[in-house]
Amino acid sequence: MTTPIRIDAEPAARAAIRARLAAGLCESEGEFACTVVVGAPPEPARISGWQVVQHPEHRERVVEKPNHHFQTGEPWEDTFPMRSAAGEYRWFLSRALPIRDRDGRIVWWFGTNTDVTEQRKVAEALREADRRKDEFIAILAHELRNPLAPVRNAVDILRRIGSSDPKLARIYDIVDRQITHMARLVDDLLDVSRIQRGQLVLRTEPCDLARVVGQTAEDYRSSFEAARLELEVTIPEEPVWILGDAVRLAQMVGNLLQNAVRFTETGGARVRVEQDSARHAAVVTVTDTGIGMDRALLERLFDPFAQAEQGLARQKGGLGLGLTLTRGLAQLHGGSIVASSPGSGCGSTFTFRVPLLSESDAVRASDRGGR
C-alpha cells in the first residue's frame, strides 16, 4: 500500500507555494494538500488548512465533492471562492487529475487552482447587459406598436373619403404596405423578447400539422407567384396529429416560406410533411433553390439579428428575427429546427421536428374532429 506523500514537499513545489503565500493568494500550505498528493486521498487532518480558506456557504459541498473523485479515480473539477491572506474571497477554478502507473493504479494526483474572479465579473456584467438589452427591446417594441393602429385607421379613412385620383390611391397602398411591414417587425421583436424572457405561452390543443402546413402554404402561394417562383407542397392524406398551437405553427411555416421567397431568385421551394415513426416525431421540411449559406452563416443563423452577408440578403433587409423566433417556437413545442446547405448559391433546407401525439390521443383527436 502506497503511503500518501505531499508532492509539495519537493523544493520546486514548496517554492511555488511560498510565492503564493508571499503574494497573499493563499492562507496556508493546506490549500494545496487536497489536490497534490501521492496514492490514497489525504487524511482529514491534512486538509484542515484547505477547509479554513473555504467560504462557509460553500465549504461542505467543496470538501465533500473530492472524496467521491478520490475514491473512483475520476478527474475532479469545481469552482468556488477561497479566502486570501488579506481576508478577501476570490473565485478559483480547481482541477485535479489522477496520475496512474503502468498497471492503472493511481500513484499521485496533480491539481491546479486558477483565479477566475475577474472572468466571473466580466461574465456577470455581460449577463446584466444582455438582460437590460432584452428589457429595452421589449419596451421599444411596445412603444413602436402603439401608434401603428391609429395610423392604419387614418389611412383607411382617407382612402374611403379621398378622391378617385389614382396617385392618391397608390400613396395609400404604399403607406398601408409599409405599416404592415413595420407591424410585422415589431411583432417579431415582441415575440422574441417574450421567448427569451420565458413569457410567451402557447395555446396548445390537438391539431393536424399536415392541415396547418397545407393551409399556410396556400396563403403564401401568391407571394411565390408574384416573384415568379414555384411552390410544391407534399402532405400526407392522413392527419399528422400533434399537440401544438396552430397559430404559432402557421407562423413558423410562414417564416420559412417568407425566407424562401426573399432569398430565391429562380426556381422555388418545396414543402413536405411526414411522420418519423422511429423518433415519434412529425417532420416539416422546406427546401429552396435560393442563395444558400456557407458554414460560417449556418453556425449563427438562428441567433437574434443575424444577417447573411451576401449581397442579395443585404438588399432584402429585415431584422434577422424570423428564424430566431421559429427556433424559439419549435423549442416551446418540445421540438427543434436545423438548417443545412451545400454552400453559397446551392439552396437551403430547413427541417423542424415536433413530437407526435400518442396513438390513443391521436385517435381521440380524430374522433373529435380536431383541427
Architecture of domain 205-368 in CATH?
A: 2-Layer Sandwich (3.30)
CA gap 143, 53 in Å, rounded: 51
What is the arithmetic mean of pLDDT over 5-25? 44
Assigned fold of 121-196:
Helix Hairpins (1.10.287)
pLDDT for residue 320: 67
In the chain, where does the domain assigned CATH 3.30.450 lie?
Answer: 7-115
Report pLDDT for 45. Answer: 38
Q: Single out the residue of 258, 284, 299, 266 nearest to residue 349, CA to CA.
A: 284
| pLDDT band for position 141 (cuts 50, 70, 90) | confident
Ranges assigned E (strand) in the chain: 76-83, 89-100, 106-115, 205-208, 230-234, 241-244, 268-276, 281-288, 336-340, 348-355
Least confident range of 37-46, 181-190, 275-284 = 37-46
Output 210 or 131, whichever has higher pLDDT.
Answer: 210
Q: Does the pLDDT at position 136 exceed 50?
A: yes
For residue 307, which amino acid is it? Q
What is the reported pLDDT for 350?
Answer: 96
Q: How far is CA 192 from the centre of its chain?
A: 12
Q: Name the 3-class secondary structure at 88.
A: coil
Domain with CATH 3.30.565.10 in the chain: 205-368
What is the CB neighbour count within 10 angstroms for residue 22?
A: 9
DSSP β-bridge partners for residue 100: 106
More confident residue, 153 or 232: 232
Per the CB < 8 A criterion, the answer to whether 307 and 268 are in contact is no
Region 254-262: mean pLDDT is 92
Per the model's pLDDT, the better-predicted residue between 298 and 24 turns out to be 298
314 or 267, which is more confident?
Answer: 267
Quickly state the pLDDT bin for 306 (edges 50, 70, 90).
low
In this predicted structure, the answer to whether residue 224 has a pLDDT above a threshold of 50 is: yes
**Distances, alpha carbon 186 to alpha carbons 133, 224, 256, 290, 318, in Å:** 16, 24, 18, 26, 11
Structure confidence at residue 342 (pLDDT): 92
Burial grade of 314 (CB within 10 A; 0-12, 13-18, 19 or more): exposed
Q: Which of 275-279, 337-341, 343-347 has the highest mean pLDDT?
A: 337-341
How would residue 39 be classed by pLDDT, with cut points 50, 70 and 90? Answer: very low
* Cell of residue 168, nine digits: 392618391
Indicate the residue type of 187.
Answer: D
User: Cα separation of 263 and 250, whole Å?
Assistant: 20
What is the architecture, at CATH level 2, of domain 7-115? 2-Layer Sandwich (3.30)
Q: The C-alpha cell of 176 is what? A: 398601408
Residue ranges of the chain assigned to CATH 1.10.287.130: 121-196
The residue among 326 and 156 whose pLDDT is bigger is 326
CA distance 259 to 124: 35
Does the structure show a pLDDT above 60 at 307?
A: no
Neighbours of 280 (CB within 10 A): 13
Please, are residues 164 and 126 in contact by the beta-carbon 8 Å criterion? no
What CA–CA distance (Å, rounded) separates 271 from 235? Answer: 8
**216 DSSP β-pair partners:** none
Q: CA–CA distance from 225 to each of 188, 265, 317 (Å)?
A: 25, 12, 21
Burial 219-232, CB ≥16 within 10 A → b, else e: ebeebbeeeebebe
Confidence (pLDDT) at 317: 53
Please report which confidence band the pLDDT of residue 86 belongs to, taking 50, 70 and 90 as the band edges.
confident
